[in-house]
């Protein structure tokens, strides 16, 4: 190959240039030369050192002048570093970084106070109030099916994928390339090969152990894959903002939403008992809300706005219930629509609040609302959380530290024994049912992108209630006396939980 000559050094005496202009000149010359080399014409055999030291080479002479300039004492013109000034700058940067970390860990959450909730959950006024507050649209003409545990909801999702004719959109916080993950990949790849538009979006932290090469076959078949907020040098400011959403939308007319990603621990017993979780299959008008939620994160990852009948057919199905798809993306603000949804639901309850959540680290607003529901309105409040099978033990310690006031007020709290319970479900007065990805903690209400489905339908709520009562039968109640008599060892662990309370 022909040799691309290095750039000509400046004809003037470089030692006369100011230090800033001199460095800029060197940088521009070397960048231009590197672009020329990378254009496809390589240098002859020899190392980079040979190139710079080759006798008679004008670049070699230029480099020698450069060396001479920096060998000079400061008094002869070499720029002198101002170490006291640099130390002050470094100290300021350290203080600012420490302050940002402290805000991340300990910034007080936004208080949510529902001034007065006089609309009953069964009233139209409640629906018409809740929808604009949460930025949601009210849908009718939708059918719902509650799917309990992995073997049920995975088979339903795979069946929907295999029946796809126009589009498939899958978003997950956790996706593992294990047995059930392979089944999903094969089904998605087959549909992409058949001409279906397949888009897969995974959170870069939640699916950290999944390699992008696992999706090569899908991409070769015409499918598309991307990461949400990948860990790169230019995304570090958004590193703590994740997409916790678990969504599957097929042909814009069938959707799935809930708390489960795609991994074997939801599907079967592995080195631990199979996780307990719930997903909802919906068909009809409300699927449009799920599709719009996926489109929001796809835009952030791909820079593409999804439109057209392949994604938005605006289909309808027979159904008399009212529903809302409530999404929240509190990346830069402090308020979250999902928190507003939960807070208003709790404030409106008149008979019962039955809550299942895997990570129960409620802020002051939620604790006051739950305790007030019992004390002021006589509402039956029962909360189901994981026991010792929880996957994040520190979260359990942080949760138990906050239970005292709730137990003293009369809230009933239970710990699930058989396995990790990952269901995120709320039933209000046997009329409203809420299922989705949001936990009752600071991450879901202040940092992560979440999506929840809220349905006003007695049959839907009864189906969730059926699961709730079954799970309670395999749980142990935490009494106030037992909570007060925790060991010193437990209390020490609970205080460690404070350090991560705002991030779990």
pLDDT in tens, 303-337: 999 999 999 999 988 888 999 999 998 865 677 89
pLDDT band at 30 (very low <50, low <70, confident <90, very high): low
C-alpha to C-alpha distances, 294 to 49, 153, 216, 245, 250, nearest whole angstrom: 52, 19, 22, 9, 12
Into how many domains does the chain fold?
3
Q: Token pair for residue 431?
A: 């009329």
pLDDT of residue 76: 53
Q: Of 76, 95, 110, at which residue does a domain stop?
A: 76
Summarize the confidence of residues 448-464 as an average pLDDT: 97
Report d(CA 303, CA 323) in Å as an integer.
Answer: 30
- pLDDT score of 427: 98
Same domain, 337 and 448: yes
pLDDT on residue 45: 42
The whole-number pLDDT of residue 56 equals 52
Give mean pLDDT, residues 10-32: 57
Q: Label residue 59 by pLDDT band (50, 70, 90).
A: low
Is the same domain home to 307 and 339? Answer: no
Indicate the residue among 319, 351, 384 that finishes a domain.
Answer: 319
309 assigned to some structural domain: yes
Model pTM score? 0.81
Start-to-end CA span in the chain (Å): 58
Containing structural domain, residue 400: 125-136+321-504
Is pLDDT above 80 for 68? no
pLDDT reading at 184 higher than 50: yes
Do residue 254 and residue 334 come from a single domain? no
Residues 434 and 484 in one domain: yes
Domain identity same for 335 and 426:
yes
Residue 294 in domain: yes
Q: Which of 319, 349, 380 is the last residue of a domain?
A: 319
Distance of alpha carbon 158 from its chain centroid, rounded? 23
**Residue 99: per-residue pLDDT:** 82
Question: Cβ contacts of residue 338 below 8 Å, gap of 6+?
Answer: 134, 326, 327, 328, 436, 438, 444, 445, 450, 451, 452
Q: Mean pLDDT across the chain, nearest whole number?
A: 87
**Predicted confidence (pLDDT) per residue in 266-296, tens digit:** 999 999 999 999 999 999 999 999 999 999 9
- Please, how many CA atoms are within 13 Å of residue 280, restricted to the half-sphere of its CB? 30
Q: Does residue 341 sit within a domain?
A: yes
Strands 197-203 and 167-172: parallel
Provide the 8-state DSSP code for 448. S
What is the reported pLDDT for 330? Answer: 80
2 located within any domain: no
As a whole-number percent, the residues of the chain with pLDDT over 90 amount to: 66
Closest CA to 496 of 403, 385, 396, 394: 394
Instruction: Render 119-159 in DSSP notation, one character per residue.
Output: S-TTSHHHHHHHHHHHT--EE-SEEEEEEESHHHHHHHHHH
Please report which confidence band the pLDDT of residue 80 belongs to, taking 50, 70 and 90 as the band edges: low
CATH at residue 209: 3.30.870.10
Instruction: Clarify whether residues 346 and 464 are in a common domain.
Output: yes
The verdict on residue 84 lying in a domain is no
279, exposed or middle or buried, with CB in 10 Å at 0-12, 13-18, 19+? Answer: buried
Per-residue confidence band for 134, with pLDDT thresholds at 50, 70 and 90: very high
Same domain, 344 and 403: yes
Q: Which residues contact 405 (CB under 8 A, 6 or more apart)?
A: 367, 371
Domain shared by 328 and 406, yes or no: yes
Asked if 138 contacts 131 with a C-beta cutoff of 8 angstroms, the reply is yes
Asked if residue 89 is part of any domain, the answer here is: no
Instruction: Express as a percent the part of the chain with pLDDT over 70.
Output: 81
Surface-to-core class of residue 1, CB atoms within 10 Å of its CB (0-12 exposed, 13-18 middle, 19+ buried) = exposed
Interval 233-264: pLDDT, tens: 877 777 878 999 999 999 999 999 999 999 99
User: How would residue 408 be classed by pLDDT, with cut points 50, 70 and 90?
Assistant: very high
φ/ψ bin of 77: left (φ > 0), alpha (ψ from -120 to 50), beta (otherwise): left
pLDDT of residue 46: 45
How many Å apart are CA 384 and CA 357, to the nearest integer?
6
pLDDT above 60 for 37: no
- Yes or no: say if 389 and 271 are a contact pair by the CB < 8 Å rule: no
360 and 504 in a common domain: yes
Three-class secondary structure of residue 244 per DSSP? coil
Question: Which carries the bigger pLDDT value, residue 437 or residue 74?
Answer: 437
pLDDT greater than 60 at residue 415:
yes
Contact 211, 219 (CB under 8 A): no
Same domain membership, residue 345 and residue 247: no
Structure tokens at 316: 């309808």
Amino acid 47: pLDDT: 44
User: Which pLDDT score is estimated for 3?
Assistant: 45
């Amino acid at each position: 190959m022909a040799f691309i000559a290095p750039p000509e050094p400046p004809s003037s005496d470089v030692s006369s240039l100011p230090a800033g202009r001199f460095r800029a000149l060197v940088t521009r010359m070397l960048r231009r030369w590197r672009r020329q080399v990378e254009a496809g014409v390589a240098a002859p055999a020899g190392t980079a050192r040979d190139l710079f030291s080759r006798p008679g080479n004008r670049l070699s002479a230029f480099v020698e002048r450069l060396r001479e300039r920096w060998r000079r004492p400061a008094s002869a013109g070499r720029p002198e570093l101002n170490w006291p000034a640099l130390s002050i700058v470094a100290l300021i940067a350290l203080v600012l970084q420490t302050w940002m970390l402290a805000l991340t860990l300990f910034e007080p959450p936004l208080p949510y106070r529902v001034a007065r909730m006089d609309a009953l959950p069964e009233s139209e006024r409640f629906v018409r109030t809740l929808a604009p507050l949460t930025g949601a649209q009210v849908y009718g003409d939708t059918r719902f099916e509650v799917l309990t545990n992995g073997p049920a909801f995975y088979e339903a999702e795979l069946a929907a994928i295999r029946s796809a004719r126009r589009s498939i959109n899958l978003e997950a916080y956790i996706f593992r390339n294990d047995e059930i993950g392979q089944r999903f990949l094969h089904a998605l790849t087959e549909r992409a090969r058949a001409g279906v538009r397949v888009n897969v979006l995974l959170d870069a932290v939640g699916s950290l152990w999944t390699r992008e090469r696992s999706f090569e076959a899908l991409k070769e078949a015409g499918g598309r894959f991307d990461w949400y907020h990948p860990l790169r040098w230019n995304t570090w400011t958004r590193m703590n903002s994740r997409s916790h959403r678990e969504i599957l939308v097929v042909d814009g007319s069938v959707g799935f939403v809930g708390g489960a990603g795609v991994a074997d621990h939801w599907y079967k017993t592995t080195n631990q008992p199979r996780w307990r979780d719930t997903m909802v299959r919906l068909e009809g008008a409300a699927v449009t809300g799920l599709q719009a939620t996926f489109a929001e994160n796809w835009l952030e990852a791909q820079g593409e706005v999804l439109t057209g009948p392949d994604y938005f057919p605006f289909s309808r199905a027979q159904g008399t219930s009212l529903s809302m798809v409530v999404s929240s993306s509190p990346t830069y603000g402090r308020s979250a629509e999902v928190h507003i949804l939960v807070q208003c639901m709790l404030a409106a309850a008149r008979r019962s609040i039955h809550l299942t959540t895997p990570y129960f680290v409620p802020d002051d607003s939620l604790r006051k609302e739950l305790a007030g529901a019992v004390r002021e309105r006589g509402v039956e409040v029962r909360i189901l959380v994981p026991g010792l099978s929880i996957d994040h033990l520190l979260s359990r310690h942080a949760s138990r530290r906050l239970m005292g006031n709730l137990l003293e007020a009369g809230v009933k709290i239970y710990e699930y024994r058989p396995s990790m319970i990952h269901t995120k479900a709320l039933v209000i007065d046997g009329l409203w049912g809420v299922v989705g990805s949001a936990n009752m903690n600071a991450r879901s209400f202040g940092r992560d992108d979440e999506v929840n489905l809220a349905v006003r339908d007695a049959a839907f709520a009864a189906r969730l209630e059926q699961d709730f009562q079954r799970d309670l039968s395999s749980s142990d109640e935490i009494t106030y006396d037992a909570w007060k008599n925790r060991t010193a060892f437990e209390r020490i662990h609970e205080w460690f939980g404070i350090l991560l309370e705002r991030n779990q």
